[in-house]
Amino acid sequence: MIFELRKRLTEEKGFSLIPRAMAISSSSWELPLVAVCQVTSTPDKQQNFKTCAELVREAARLGACLAFLPEAFDFIGRDPEETLHLSEPLGGNLLGEYTQLARECGLWLSLGGFHERGQDWEQTQKIYNCHVILNNKGSVVATYRKTHLCDVEIPGQGPMHESNSTIPGPSLEPPVSTPAGKVGLAICYDIRFPELSLALVQAGAEILTYPSAFGSVTGPAHWEVLLRARAIETQCYVVAAAQCGRHHEKRASYGHSMVIDPWGTVVARCSEGPGLCLARIDLNYLRQMRQHLPVFQHRRPDLYGSVGHPLS
């Protein structure tokens, strides 16, 4: 399958507080390039891998150092029983294929939500929604297990009871140093809890990532505004790889994968359907913006407590 590349190598826009010449001190072509992949996962794991691998190889060909895949990049099952049946441990065959892919392409991978059979699988018969970071050698350098599970009933979108098959993760993961910057890990529904993003930025995050599978009702209403809010309040880049389209007869996703800069500007966006978009990460711009708008120095924990305690 040949995907249309949705590419916007957009430089971060200047604004009145930070003049453009000041905000970008180096050539944009020297800045790290990230790729955001948008897919339509189905219950067919091998076809899903083929789709994702094609996008990852295209990202590598275009010079990206880090490619982001959405939540449930491995598969989206029709019901909890199928989800549990298709799940694998981190040491299983599917993650092995992604390990080889990262090594082959020589780039880092953010695998945004793997259906993981954990060490407690035999006892619980439930899984974790696990965000895995692979380096360019194919080694697992970080794992974050989704802490906020999506148990909601939205009129017009159908019920979602993630806890029927999934266990909430026990902890946050400190930001991961990557060639693009320090990446803070989250997954989908986590975006509705700003305490998580505040904890990650206070631990040093420069990029927040929200791999997702937003629905057709919450997507148009909340997706972009939540992503931009997280970027503005933390003064981080936000990278959001999303599922799109109809996965099977029971489920569809909103799509609209995007990258947002610390000023809240959407600097890259995928169009409809599977594909990818590209963005450059300018950490000098991020640092200068934080210097000129030092919101974290102005917080008043004496009045409202410490929201988002720093990670240990």
Which pLDDT tens digits describe the chain residue by residue (312 residues)? 333 343 333 333 332 233 333 344 446 778 999 999 999 999 999 999 999 999 999 999 999 999 999 999 999 999 999 999 999 999 999 999 999 999 999 999 999 999 999 999 999 999 999 999 999 999 999 999 999 999 998 888 878 899 999 999 999 999 999 999 999 999 999 999 999 999 999 999 999 999 999 998 999 999 999 999 999 999 999 999 999 999 998 888 999 999 999 999 999 999 889 999 999 999 999 999 999 999 999 999 999 888 766 675
Q: Is 146 a catalytic residue?
A: yes
The residue among 282, 288, 291 whose CA lies nearest residue 261 is 282
pLDDT for the residue 21: 32
User: Is 296 strand, coil or helix?
Assistant: helix
pLDDT digits (tens, 9 = 90+) for 50-64: 999 999 999 999 999
Let me know how many helices (H) and strands (E) the chain has, helices first. 9, 16
Q: Is 130 a catalytic residue?
A: no
Contact of 230 with 191, CB cutoff 8 Å: yes
Q: Is 135 left (phi over 0), alpha (psi -120 to 50) or beta?
A: beta
pLDDT for the residue 25: 41
Residues with Cβ < 8 Å from 289, sequence gap 6 or more?
17, 18, 23, 235, 262, 263
- Residue of 37, 105, 188, 277 marked catalytic: 188
- Residue of 12, 58, 65, 71 marked catalytic: 71
Angstrom distance (rounded) from CA 219 to CA 226 = 10
Please give the torsion angle defined by the CA atoms of residues 88, 89, 90 and 92, in that order, rounded to the nearest 10 degrees: -70
pLDDT for the residue 309: 62
pTM of the model: 0.90
pLDDT for the residue 308: 61
- Residue of 12, 116, 146, 182 marked catalytic: 146
pLDDT digits (tens, 9 = 90+) for 237-264: 999 999 999 999 888 899 999 999 999 9
Rg for the chain, CA atoms, rounded: 19
Q: Is 88 a catalytic residue?
A: no
pLDDT digits (tens, 9 = 90+) for 163-183: 999 999 999 999 999 999 999
pLDDT for the residue 310: 61
